[in-house]
Structure 1
Amino acid sequence: MYQMKSKIGRSGDLIDLERRYFKDVKKYPTLSHEEEVELARRVKKGDEEARKKLILSNLKLVITIAKSYATYQVPFLDLIEEGNLGLIKAISRYDPEKGFRFSTYAAWWIKQAIVRAISNYSRTIRIPIHIFNLMNRYVALEKRKDFANLDVEDKVRILKISKKRFRMLEELISNIRSLDLANSVETYNELSKSFQPEAVADAEKIILQQIEHENLEALMNRLSERERLILRIRYGFDDGEIHTLAETGKVIHVSRERVRQLEMRALKKLRCILEPRFQVEKENKVKKERK
């Protein structure tokens, strides 16, 4: 999953990052039971702002619970991130009409997420979310009405990346859309090598990234076990290394051509799942513009 600590080791920089995160979390006030119920009801109706507020107001609870597990061989910020994911899941399942406090309900989900992370830590799949987020930012930029009129300098400035990375990003997205798998993997590898994610201490940004990451994991779970394995190996979700069709085939004992077929099927399936969501987003945007 997304790594707050990024490339930082257990050093003064990491300790400073923890302090900045804790300080940022303190600015979100604890909610009363009545406020929790009101927000939870709005969440049930699809109110994303209410969902975000309920998450941010309970980040202190995650920190408190994570401290109970701080003696284990898992970085503390990683424990917090896993706990945050448990919190996000709790919000999606909480029923405000049952009468009990949200914090009581959420604590169980937070603990479960942290304990599971500790037991699975050595084999956790870490999808490179910095590339995923960069692609999302590019797609969002494409939706702007003035996109066609923007030159490369404008796009680079808006995305806050170098021209070299921008060219690779354009090529990667183009290859994926055309299902040019060989070139997609090659371009992805180059882009991944050229881009190192920055350490983030802003709680709200971290939560938004974690929600996006959860969406990506949910998509992956819609694939068959073999399809997920193909993408994990090909795109380096486990070890950070991109592998060729032949290398992937050796791992799962199938031919190079069979790997290509399975990979294409998995990507097509993901695209079919995503297209309706993009259509809904487009329709919602049109409705807002008409108001």
Structure 2
Amino acid sequence: MNATELPTAEVAVEELLERSSERGYVLLSELQELHVPEIHGDTWVDDAITTATDQGVQVIDDVADDVPEEVGDASAALTTDLVRQYLNDAGRHALLTKEDEADLAKRYQAGLSADVFLKERADQLTRTRKARLRQISRDGERAKERMVQANLRLVVPQARKFSGRDLDFIELIQEGNLGLLRAVEKFDHTKGYKFSTYAVWWIRQALQRGVASKGRTIRVPAHVWELYGKLRAAELRLRQQKGGDPSEEEVAEEVGLTVDRVREVRDAMQELVSLDRPIGEDGDATMGDLIADAAQLDPADTALEGDALSQIDAALNALDDRERIILVLRFGLGGQEPQTLEEIGAHFGLTRERIRQMQNRALAKLRHPSRAHNLSGLLDVLDRAA
């Protein structure tokens, strides 16, 4: 086969989409199968991924890094099969338009209202009216199921970000599914934002809670998490100022604690996980490698896990949906890369300045005395990153 007979990146993506037009995504392994390095060159797969993304098509990484698989390991092979089956099931359901999402949301809400009538006014309803309400209730459940099925493809990419944290990949998918279900139940189509943006927030929250509650055997008090967040923020500030690692004495002075207290907090966190613990098959990387670059002030460094995560969630729930999503996207609170004001504006169809105003309003709400005393470490970081 010569070079002219091999598909370009654009043609390859189009052919894959034609073969799975209702699926809405392509697998990385499918692109790799079409790649001939000697002819296409090293960047062909990346070009194909870019092409797919530009066309609004998601590329799901289903190769070794996504799905834990070891040759000869029966349980890993089973996990791989289950994940592939999950992806296949997700691909059988067509993507929804914004109009579809609104229609399904209305039907689901109508079903909930019908359930309330049947429960609270059963003795006041005629037999015909009861039958009609039961029909609306069943239709609402079908709408909810359709909404979930059409968005299952959102779960795997988010679950992948939490892999290697004590839960099997299938367990992570199950946790993500719970978040997706919650998103469908809470979605308000009248707000005007995309369901996918809203759903990803709930999926990430469910994954975080699942990892925190099921993956950890040692519990750390919330106030220790808060102190640890302050220590990490202080270390980052000092490292940026000095160009090197600060001493314990410098960190203690920066946060107003004694050196002994700084050591106690660090020791408590060290019991959870050693940053020097090897990861990967070759053991040539450590947990410390996963920490954000010192030049970037990442709110993830405030340790959004365990009891502290519950407090933060409670505070964020005091915001309206749009404000909450803006903070999550802007500061990477869900574990993803922080987005710019322009990128968030594109999600909502708003200007950069309007997003900035809404961000500042949300932060002001979090600073309310009823919430700020539990979130001082987080707010310090967000204020500097804003």
Bigger helix share: 1
* Bigger Cα Rg: 2
Q: Same fold (TM over 0.5)?
A: no
The structure, 1 or 2, with the larger RCO (C-alpha pairs under 8 Å, 6+ apart) is 1
TMscore range, shorter length: 0.3 to 0.5
Q: When the two structures are superposed, what TM-score results if normalisation uses the length of structure 2?
A: 0.29
Name the TM-score, length of structure 1 as normaliser: 0.38
